[in-house]
């Protein structure tokens, strides 16, 4: 499901606020969140998007082109995020956006912090899932981790399904 317009606007704002040049997205989906991120990034910036579904990459690549972005502005990596992220460079990214497998959000936070530069932002989508289950447990653990980590300045944004953003000190 595409990110909702309010969540997309928040992503564009956050990317623009820190003049992001390098962004990692966990969960490519149909490419809508990637478009919002690219719209907020500095010219010449590159979005690295990771997903396990080849069809999502095909759709996203087409969506990026239709939105006017050059092919070299996105790098789509097929694979499980927890296998791919360790291969990305430490401290080389300005923003990490997570919108996949909410049960793994705590692990994505750990991996994302390694990737972020000081002053970078990590963002998690749909952190207020209804009901109970692994997604709710993952979101709850993520919120506790972000609140307890002295390296982070977290903020819960009550938009769409809830966004948790945190600046890395």
In the predicted structure, residue 160 carries a pLDDT above the cut 90:
no
User: Side-chain half-sphere of 144: how many Cα atoms within 13 Å?
Assistant: 8
Task: Give pLDDT tens digits for 65-76.
Answer: 999 999 999 999
- Determine the structural domain holding residue 66 and report its residue range: 5-168
Between the two ends of the chain, the Cα-to-Cα distance in Å is 32
Which of these, 77, 70, 63, 5, lies nearest to 34 by C-alpha position?
A: 63
Averaged over 138-154, what is the pLDDT?
95
In the predicted structure, residue 130 carries a pLDDT above the cut 90:
no
- The total domain count for the chain is 1
Which of these, 131, 132, 130, 128, lies nearest to 143 by C-alpha position?
A: 128
Of 149 and 129, more confident: 149
Question: Any idea which of 26-40, 48-62, 130-144 has the lowest mean pLDDT?
Answer: 130-144
What whole-number percentage of the chain has pLDDT above 70?
Answer: 100
Quick count: other Cβ atoms within 10 Å of Cβ 106?
19
CATH number at residue 53: 3.40.50.150
């Amino acid at each position: 499901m595409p990110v909702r317009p309010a969540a997309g606007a928040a992503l564009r704002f956050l990317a623009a606020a820190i003049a992001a040049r390098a962004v990692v997205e966990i969960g490519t989906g149909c490419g809508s969140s990637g478009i919002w991120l690219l719209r907020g990034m500095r010219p010449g910036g590159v979005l690295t998007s990771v997903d396990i579904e080849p069809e999502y990459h095909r759709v996203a690549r087409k969506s990026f082109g239709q939105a006017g972005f050059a092919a070299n502005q996105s790098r789509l990596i097929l694979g499980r995020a927890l296998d791919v992220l360790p291969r990305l460079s430490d401290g080389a990214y300005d923003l990490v956006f997570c919108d996949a497998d909410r049960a793994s959000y705590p692990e994505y936070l750990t991996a994302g912090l390694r990737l972020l530069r000081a002053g970078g932002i990590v963002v998690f989508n749909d952190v207020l899932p209804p009901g109970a289950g692994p997604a709710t447990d993952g979101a709850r653990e993520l919120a506790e981790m972000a609140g307890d980590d002295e390296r982070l300045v977290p903020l819960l944004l009550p938009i769409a399904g809830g966004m948790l953003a945190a600046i890395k000190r």
